[in-house]
Amino acid sequence: MPSALSTRLDAAVEAIPRAYPGPGGALAILRQGEVLVRHAWGYANAERRIAFTPRTLFRMCSITKQFTCAVALDAHGDLSALDGDVRARLPRLDAAAPSAADLAHNQSGLRDYWAVAMLLGSPAEAPFGEIEANAIIAATRSLQFAPGTRFSYVNQNFRMLGDIVAERANLSFTDLLRTRVFDRAGMETAFLAADTAAMPDGTTGYEGAQAGGFRAAENRILWTGDAGLGASLDDMIAWERYIDATRDDPGALYNRLSAPVAFSDGTPATYGFGLGRSTAFGRASTGHGGGLRGWRSHRQHVPSERLSIVVMFNHLANASGAAADLLAALLGETAPGPDPSLPPPAWLGAYAESETGLSVRAEAGAPGQIRLRFGLTPDTLDLRPDGSAGRDAGPRLRPAEGGLWLDRPGDNASTLLAPLSPSTGVPDVAGRYRCAELAAELTVTAAGGVLYAGFSGPLGQGRMEFLEPVGADVWVLPCQRALDHTAPGDWTLAFRRDPDGAVVGVTLGCWLARGLDYPKVA
């Protein structure tokens, strides 16, 4: 390894535990199948003083999705063979069912079942297993969008795929992963860690932060094809070496997983077969992150350079940011920063996005940046000299004829935003609202002149949350905790009135679960 590269990597690796502090972690850097860095630090279990090592078992979470797709492709070749099985799992759907490929590309139009679980009243620490998952999937009556036309991250897409291929093979999904992927790649200790309550070697995930301290995270989900992979750093190194060793074989698993995919209108998609497609420092890249409360991971592959990076944290630090830091050091690149001389634009404010019905808030950020609140978590966008704001291939806000546009290339969507009129005090929206499709309710109260709301349904009764006004008859309900690692994001509550001005209902949604109608019942 050239001395300049060695110096950069040593400095970058040494910086990671300090830049992303927590109980422990591990990382690996590979080039041309050679391991340049294999490093672990801290504790897999701080209370029991179990050291984090390259052989520590870890929850890879949503990185599982590419392995589920690998099993499906290896077993069936053309995923259209599974389309009938998808339809059979959606017996109440009043629309054309998504195909198996739509599931694999997150183009199904389904609402994410962990987001829906919040609407059904599930507490964040409640058990969520096969019974709950199958009930939510089977009860689906409508879609967010026509399959193949848009992107939306939906975890049960991959649970369904995993369940289908296991049922078809009359084998457990664990056996399929072992025989069709793990054994071939030399992933000796990888397994299906379905029960998120504990790991067999005692590894623990932690919530919290350095400033306020860490505590063991409590999880009670049972995962399968959506996020169940358990693997060590050495297992993931084996996967990356297998990818490099089979790079010239068009039929190799990873080459099939990373092949170009498109939406139904032919627009290239930035997600397919459980892998995100992106650009890193001008180079095409594939990869995926993973997370649960207490766990974060990320893997990234740059084929043109034959580079791979894996990062694991057993705490809630930004694993994708750490991977980007390591990639920059490996390539000798520096990520461009914002121009702090650019002033905040005149178009900051609150809007409604017509296709989803969700609220959009563009707020001032650090010099040269704004904060966009629309999806799961706020996006930081860099201001540009042409008056727009964006970053890489992510969302972009741009003023144009007719107003302000929100471009979401990854979602295959571009929408003219409608400015929201200012909110005027506490309106008369208190009451009970019921969604027939979910058989669930939203309760809104005016407690001492302050609005609160909470969900209840077949999975329990959620806590009441403070409502934040966004515009006239538009409020947001913050969802800070969820069964999954990231909460669904702010729920937009858009209240409707009849010609006489009386409130008659509310349309509710977030990026993961949109367009649900709640008529007022009391």
Q: How far apart are CA 349 and CA 166, in angstroms?
A: 49
Q: What's phi and psi for 304, nearest 5 deg?
A: -65, -30
- CA dihedral 305→231→176→64, nearest 10 degrees, is -60
Q: What is the end-to-end Cα distance of the chain in Å, rounded? A: 71
Q: What is the pLDDT of residue 424?
A: 80
Q: How far apart are CA 414 and CA 267, in angstroms?
A: 13
Residue 1 pLDDT more than 80? no
In this predicted model, which residue has the larger pLDDT, 402 or 206? 206
Neighbours of 370 (CB within 10 A): 25
- Domains (range + CATH), the chain: 3-109+144-331 (3.40.710.10), 349-419 (2.40.128.50), 431-519 (2.40.128.50)
Range of weakest confidence among 407-416, 421-430, 492-501, 510-519: 421-430
Read off the pLDDT of residues 250-284 as tens digits, 9 standing for 90 and up.
999 999 999 999 999 999 999 999 999 999 999 99
Distances (CA, A) of 374 to 122, 159, 224, 364, 377: 23, 26, 29, 15, 7
Read off the pLDDT of residues 439-461 as tens digits, 9 standing for 90 and up.
999 999 998 889 999 999 999 99
Read off the pLDDT of residues 82-99 as tens digits, 9 standing for 90 and up.
999 999 999 999 999 999
Q: How far apart are CA 43 and CA 23, in angstroms?
A: 5
Q: Which residues form the catalytic set? A: 62, 65
pTM for this structure? 0.96
Give the full edge-to-edge strand order of the sheet including 307-313: 50-51, 34-45, 24-31, 307-313, 295-302, 283-292, 275-280, 271-272
Q: What's phi and psi for 412, nearest 5 deg?
A: 60, 45
